[in-house]
Amino acid sequence: MAESDINVVLVEDDEDLRDSVVEWLELAGMQVSAVGSAAEFYQVLPKRDFQVAVIDVGLPDQSGHVLAQYLRANTGTAVIMLTARSTIDDKIKGYDSGADLYLVKPVDCRELSAAIVSIAQRVRKFSPEPPATQHMPAAQHLWTISAAQWQLSGAGDAQISLSVKELKFLALLAATPGQPVLRKTVLTELYQRHDDYTGRSLDSMVRRLRAKVVAATGVAIPIRTVHAVGYCFAGAIAMC
């Protein structure tokens, strides 16, 4: 794999370090999307197929461990974690959260660049080619919610009837596509309280909704579970 084929997302809140790493990686020929917070990360993630994510652990709005867990659960993106924390326990926590490599600051950009190339090559080598009959990825569809008709439309001409709670849930995600909505916020809006009982009800509702969409369209709706945070809609969605 050539460096020009490697897409990297860099999440680092130190602006000087971020700019320095971006400059080095782009000089090496890589395509880099750099952000300074977890919120920006969730916005940029659906926009490109990233082979490698370079994530600072100590972000201002969310731990980098959570971002690594999200990537491991929902994507095939490899993770390199950057941190000033160098104890064995810190490293083990990083690997447990999904990191492929754990680098301690100050990081040498030559080492980081070489690590990204090596990991990206392995990611590409072991990523199976999609079969010719595979459906278009869900994120490429425009999903539309009709509040008046309580319906969801996305792939093809399918019109999927929604329950009241499904409609409210999707409307919450549609308000900030690509950004996570806190689980507590969802529970409060749908059930007027947040406890173990309503949490289980929400999980069941999301599973039913995903299954309903797949049954009707053959395409998975891009509702992503953000570990320890909530849910986000990782695709194009609109209300009408």
In contact, 65 and 73? CB cutoff 8 Å? no
Q: For the CA atoms of 217, 222, 225, 229, what is the dihedral angle to 10 degrees? A: -140
- Identify the pLDDT of residue 141: 61
7-46 pLDDT, tens digit per residue, is 999 999 999 999 999 999 998 899 999 999 988 998 888 8
Asked if the model's pLDDT at residue 53 lies above 90, the reply is yes
- Identify the pLDDT of residue 91: 87
Locate 234 and state its tokens: 């990782």
Q: Binning pLDDT at 50, 70 and 90, where does residue 158 land?
A: confident
Residue range 138-239, CATH number: 1.10.10.10
Architecture of the 3-125 domain: 3-Layer(aba) Sandwich (3.40)
Q: Binning pLDDT at 50, 70 and 90, where does residue 124 land?
A: low
> Buried (b) or exposed (e) across 72-105, using 16+ Cβ within 10 A?
bebbebbbbbbbeeeeeeebebbeebbbbbbbee
- Identify the pLDDT of residue 156: 65
Asked if the model's pLDDT at residue 136 lies above 60, the reply is no
Locate 52 and state its tokens: 């490698």
172-183 pLDDT, tens digit per residue, is 998 888 888 888
Distance CA 209, CA 222 (A): 11
* One fold for 3-125 and 138-239: no
Going from N- to C-terminal start, the domains of the chain cover 3-125, 138-239
Kindly report whether the global pTM for this prediction surpasses the value 0.85: no
